[in-house]
């Protein structure tokens, strides 16, 4: 990443390195941290789709800003990077329980060098999602239901795809109920949908619309669940114009890799909650019209990196890490210099 930031101004004179951290969606998160959510319809006309961005990152950024008196921008960078670092630690602890220390380290390394992983240094909410989701899945393995509830709610307050954890908790609750009937595990499954519903309720009160988030997603960002039609269309476009639409090429490749790894997880009989989570994230990635952001959704579906670490030789994984690191540098350059490819 640092090499890419060094090279970028050489390839594009006038490029400002600090802008990397608060570019693209990061600008919206920082705006929310500074002044809250703007109205969907401004008094001067026009439409503002900032409501599409979930509140946990702006809230954490605001809290750090108030506590430390750092600038909002610096606070956001600190929150994003600290949460990503903590997420890697918790993910390693989770993976270690499945495949042991050495292979857990390989899996986390594959995750760290995935081509879209540079967004974890930007003011994006993916680091918070990874941290909360990993903590929730780790709590499920130990049947600490109150922790699964809390971290599930936090995950769905960081990004909407965190609600997938409700299915993971429900599966674990069913398995626990078969051994020892009880209602507490089922209560834990309410955490993610309550977090999601809580944000929608806040927008209803603050913006006066019960469907503010759906409106912002659809009208502002062109996203709706279309069962993969947009992804398939983008794939055909990428096939016919690979050099003109690098973002769609990256999205198509990432989608294929992500789905293949989920299938491999199923065949390898890895823990069901991890497979449900990874599969659910990929369904949302390919079915929600996210365009060129599929590589980042693969990052959110972090359990997919467990299966190559568990099934491939160390030398093959080392080669994968090297290739992925090169792809990350290239992808980051394309994102930063072309301004047509979203992270």
pLDDT score for 287: 92
Three-state secondary structure call for residue 47: strand
CA–chain centroid gap for 157, Å, is 12
Question: Rounded to an integer, what is the distance from CA 318 to the centroid of its chain?
Answer: 24
* Neighbouring residues of 306: CB distance < 8 A, sequence distance ≥ 6: 95, 98, 99, 107, 265, 270, 274
Q: Name every residue whose Cβ is closer than 8 Å to that of residue 119 and which is 6 or more positions away in sequence.
A: 126, 296, 299, 343
Q: Each residue of 99-152: pLDDT tens digit?
A: 999 999 999 999 999 999 999 999 999 999 999 999 999 999 999 999 999 999
Cα dihedral across residues 70, 76, 81, 82: positive or negative: positive
Name all contacts of 185-190 with Cβ < 8 Å and 24+ positions apart.
185/143, 185/145, 187/145, 187/149, 188/145, 188/146, 188/148, 188/149, 188/152, 189/152, 190/149, 190/166
The average pLDDT across 302-329 equals: 95
Identify which of 80, 90, 154, 89 has the alpha carbon closest to the alpha carbon of residue 118.
Answer: 80
Query: Rounded to whole angstroms, how far apart are CA atoms 282 and 124?
Result: 19
What is 206-225 written as a DSSP string? HHS-TTHHHHIIIIIH----
The H or E element containing residue 198 is helix 191-207
pLDDT of 55 above 70: yes
What DSSP state is assigned to residue 37?
P
Instruction: List pLDDT tens digits, range 58-101.
Output: 999 999 999 999 999 999 999 999 999 999 999 999 999 999 99
Q: Which two tokens stand for residue 274?
A: 């991890």
**Confidence grade of residue 5 (pLDDT, cut at 50, 70, 90):** low
Contact in structure between 74 and 61 (CB atoms under 8 Å): no
* Mean pLDDT score, 167-184: 94
Per-residue pLDDT at 9 exceeds 70? no
- pTM for the model stands at 0.94
- Going by C-alpha positions, the residue among 113, 43, 120, 65 that lies closest to residue 87 is 120
Whole-number pLDDT of residue 117: 96
Reading the block at residue 110, the tokens are: 């594959």
């Amino acid at each position: 990443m640092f090499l890419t930031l060094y090279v970028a101004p050489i390839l594009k004179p006038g490029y400002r390195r600090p802008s990397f951290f608060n570019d693209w969606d990061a600008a919206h998160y920082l705006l929310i941290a500074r002044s809250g959510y703007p109205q969907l319809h401004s008094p001067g006309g026009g439409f503002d789709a900032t409501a599409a961005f979930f509140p946990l990152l702006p809230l954490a950024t605001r809290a750090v800003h108030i506590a430390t008196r750092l600038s909002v921008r610096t606070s956001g960078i600190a929150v994003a990077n600290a949460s990503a670092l903590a997420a890697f630690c918790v993910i390693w602890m989770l993976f270690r329980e499945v495949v042991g220390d050495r292979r857990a380290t390989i899996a986390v390394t594959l995750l760290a060098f995935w081509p879209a992983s540079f967004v974890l240094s930007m003011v994006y909410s993916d680091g918070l999602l990874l941290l909360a989701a990993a903590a929730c899945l780790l709590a499920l393995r130990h049947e600490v239901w109150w922790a699964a509830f809390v971290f599930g709610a936090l995950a769905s307050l960081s990004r909407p795809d965190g609600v997938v954890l409700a299915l993971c908790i429900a599966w674990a609750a069913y398995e626990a109920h078969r051994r020892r009937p009880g209602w507490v595990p089922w209560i834990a499954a309410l955490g993610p949908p309550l977090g999601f519903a809580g944000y929608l309720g806040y927008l209803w009160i603050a913006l006066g619309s019960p469907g503010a988030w759906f409106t912002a997603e659809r009208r502002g960002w062109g996203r709706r669940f279309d069962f993969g039609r947009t992804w398939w269309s983008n794939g055909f476009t990428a096939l016919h114009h690979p050099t003109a639409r690098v973002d769609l090429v990256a999205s198509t490749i990432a989608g294929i890799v992500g789905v293949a790894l989920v299938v491999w997880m199923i065949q390898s009989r890895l823990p069901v909650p991890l497979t449900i989570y990874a599969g659910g994230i990929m369904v949302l990635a390919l079915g929600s019209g996210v365009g060129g952001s599929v590589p980042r959704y693969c990052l959110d579906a972090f359990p997919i990196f467990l299966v190559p670490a568990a099934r491939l030789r160390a030398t093959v994984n080392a080669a994968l890490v090297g290739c992925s690191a090169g792809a990350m540098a290239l992808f980051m350059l394309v994102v930063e210099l072309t301004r047509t490819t979203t992270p």
